[in-house]
Structure 1
Amino acid sequence: MALSVPKLPPRPVGDTPPVITRIVRLARAHFFTHGYSQCTMDELAAELGMSKKTLYVHFPSKEAIMRAVIEDLGREIRTSADELFASRQLNFAEKLRGFAEGMVERLTKTNPRLLRDLQRFAPDLYRQVAEMREKNIPYVFGRFIEEGQLAGMVRPEVDTAFAVQFFLQAMNGLCQPATMERLGLAPRDIAPRAIGLFFGGLLTPAGRKEHEKLFPR
């Protein structure tokens, strides 16, 4: 059963001009599909229907666009989590499932080459991806653990700070290109498997029943 996951259509964030949002969202789709090294400013300009000169007015380089893509993705993940936490129609397990489904949806078209490209050819950008995880995982999963404890679904003795760091380190390892290649996993496979395994060990008996309904083995 698929949940109704909040959709985030391309839209300006804060005072971001619509043209910047459009460039970033199209570039994200392009990078995720083809990888980083295979994309050029000429190709991006052509897809956007603008000259390369105009594209350079907004972004001085492909690296600058990719930085904006990573920032936009991190912001989108946090906003999606906020929308789920604010929902009064979903219980804890449904919110957790909704977040996992949202991550799968974002990563379904991600070429496994992307992270390896960044690791090899743009190490500063690769570090930025790691920094995004280090910012988002405590923000999102710390709240999931605390909300789950309040709902009686996560064991009350769980130390949130320790659990979050444990999950962060696990994700840092799993998201290494060499690890994904060795395990035969694509980026879209990581989040739901990791979330299911991680929270499966934190839940109370009542939480486990709800969890198993939405995260079947």
Structure 2
Amino acid sequence: METFYTFFVSIVKLISTFVAMEILGKENELLMACTALFMKYGVKSLTMNDIASHLGVSKKTIYLYVSDKKDLVNKAVRLHIKNEECLITSLCCVDKENAIDELLDINQKMSEKLQSIQPAVMYDLQKFYPEAWKIIEDHKTCFVSTIVKENIEKGIKEGLYRENVNPVIISNLYVVMVNKIFDTDLFPHMGFDYRTLHLEMTRYHIRGIASRKGIEYLKEKLAQTNQEF
């Protein structure tokens, strides 16, 4: 009897797990679709009716997963950041030749992502959705700074970055530069795009910390793809 009861409980738990996974999968699918809309049209301009219409679902369906638009934006940003962190972590885990290769790979992926972001998105989040903006800020100050710090430490060991570079200071300065990319007073929407700004920032960063050996490697690396740095 006890064996049957244990088996029954195990089956119930298994079914519950599958149901939870299915619900989570549908929620994530909805959030990613909403993120794509925000990237294209901005956040503030889209009403819940607009979102439902674009996605071809009812508002009732959306409200199965979120309580209101604020909750939707927060969850969408949180999932987007989580996916970005998984992507960057996977790039860092690949057995690259060196720290510069690693940083260039990350830069390439991030530039592709930034190309699809409308400037209004960041403005809307910063001004109207402080909780969502804090998620992004925490991501930069914790995750991004750690990735950059570890990359600098790796590059110093490889002799590609200068020995006197302070990884903690430079990684924090890097985050400051990332923040400035989204400063519309400094870089008005009509004059600059995020991809160009990010590329220039990366050039500035690598040239500032690279040793002579690192600079030479960088020139050779980019010459293979007819790029200048």
Q: Same fold (TM over 0.5)?
A: yes
Instruction: Name the residue aligned to 1:70.
Output: 77
Number of matched pairs: 204
Indicate the residue corresponding to 2:43 in structure 1: 36
Q: Are residue 157 (structure 1) and residue 164 (structure 2) matched?
A: yes
2:228 is matched with which residue? 216
User: What is the deviation of 1:199?
Assistant: 1.6
* 1:92-113 CA-partner distances (Å, limit 9, x unpaired): 3222111111111112111111
1:85 is aligned to 92
Q: In 2, are the aligned partners of 1:24 and 1:65 still within 8 Å (CA)?
A: yes
What is the percentage of aligned positions where both structures have the same residue?
Answer: 19
2:72 alignment partner, SS class: helix
Question: Which structure features the higher share of helix residues?
Answer: 2
Instruction: Return the alpha-carbon distance in structure 2 between the equivalents of residues 22 and 131 of structure 1.
Output: 24
Compare CA radii of gyration and give the structure with the larger one.
2
TM-score w.r.t. the length of structure 1 is: 0.84
Note closer, same or farther for the CA distance 1:163–1:89 as it changes in structure 2 (3 Å cut).
Answer: closer
Q: What does 1:103-182 correspond to in 2, within 5 Å? A: 103-181=110-188
Matched, 1:189 2:196: yes
> Which of residues 1, 20, 23 is equivalent to 2:27?
20
Q: What's the TM-score once normalised by structure 2's chain length?
A: 0.80
**Closer/same/farther in 2, CA of residues 90 and 17 from structure 1, 3 Å limit:** farther
Deviation at 1:204, TM superposition (A): 1.1
Q: Retained in 2: the 8 A contact 1:149–1:155?
A: yes
Distance in 1 separating the partners of 2:70 and 2:200? 31
Question: Which is further off, 181-190 or 100-109?
Answer: 181-190
CA RMSD across the alignment: 2.3
| Corresponding residue for residue 10 of structure 1 | none
Secondary structure of 2:209's aligned partner? coil
Letter in 1 for 2:105: G
Give, in whole Å, the separation in 2 of the partners of 1:174 and 1:85.
23
Q: Deviations over 1:42-99 (max 9, x none)?
A: 2222333321111111011222222122222322232222212221254332221111
| Residues 175 and 190 in structure 1, CA contact (< 8 A), matched pair in contact too | no
**Shift in Å at residue 182 of structure 1?**
7.5
What's the offset of the Cα at 1:126?
A: 2.9
Is residue 2:101 matched to residue 1:94?
yes
CA–CA separation in structure 1 for the residues paired with 2:39 and 2:189:
21
Partner SS for 2:43 = coil
Match for 1:75: what amino acid?
Answer: K
Q: Deviations over 1:180-200 (max 9, x none)?
A: 207922222232221210121
CA distance in 2, matches of 1:196, 1:112: 22
**Cα deviation digits, residues 123-156 of structure 1 (max 9, x gap):** 3433332222212221221121112122221112
**Which runs of no fewer than 5 residues in structure 1 stay unpaired?**
1-14
Distance 2:114 2:162 in 1: 30
Secondary structure of 1:178's counterpart equals coil
